[in-house]
Amino acid sequence: MTLMTILYEILKETWQIYLDVAVYMLFGFFMAGILYVFFKPDKIKKYLGTGKIRPVILSALFGIPIPLCSCGVVPVAAGLKKQGANNGAALSFMIATPESGVDSIAVSWAMLDPIMTVIRPVAGFITAIATGIVQNYAGINDLPENTPPLSLKGG
């Protein structure tokens, strides 16, 4: 096989994966739109801001259908936090969304076997809930206003 044939096959298979995932991505975007329309800041504060366990479970459930990668989920979780979600709920959303999103499930189905396709989002969901609950009970609630930003430089 020549290099061009190999590159062509890689591109062809990549395109096939995109086509397989597209339906699930569209569903995830549709669900994200529904969440945006129906859950305004006052509702987010009501459901995700008070309590220690219930908001964590609800935010993990809200994050399941949304197709966000681990980079894209950070601004969304920060927005939830600004709208009134507690720290555990925001953290739970950040963990559950990339692990159990419909796009992630579709890619797992394409690359792994059906058993791992089920186990991966379930494990992500359980991890998200456990982490959020630990954050709400044992974590730091808010940093003081005058806390300096974290610097990666030494000195």
Do residues 85 and 44 lie in contact, with contact meaning Cβ atoms separated by under 8 Å?
yes
Q: What is the DSSP string of 47-84?
A: HHSS-SSHHHHHHHHHHTT----TTTHHHHHHHHHHTT
Of 22, 46, 43, 21, the C-alpha closest to 34 is 43
pLDDT score recorded for residue 51: 87
Quote the CA–CA distance of 100 and 59 in Å, as a whole number. Answer: 12
C-alpha distances (whole Å) from 146 to each of 142, 143, 149 are 12, 8, 9
Q: What is the pTM of this model?
A: 0.67
Q: Comparing 110 with 12, which gets the higher pLDDT?
A: 12
Question: What does the mean pLDDT of the chain come to?
Answer: 81
For residue 150, pLDDT over 60 is answered with: no
Overall residue count recorded for the chain in this entry: 155
Res 149 pLDDT > 70 = no
* pLDDT confidence bin for 71, thresholds 50/70/90: low
What's the Rg (C-alpha) of the chain? 19
Confidence label for 14 from pLDDT (cuts 50, 70 and 90): very high
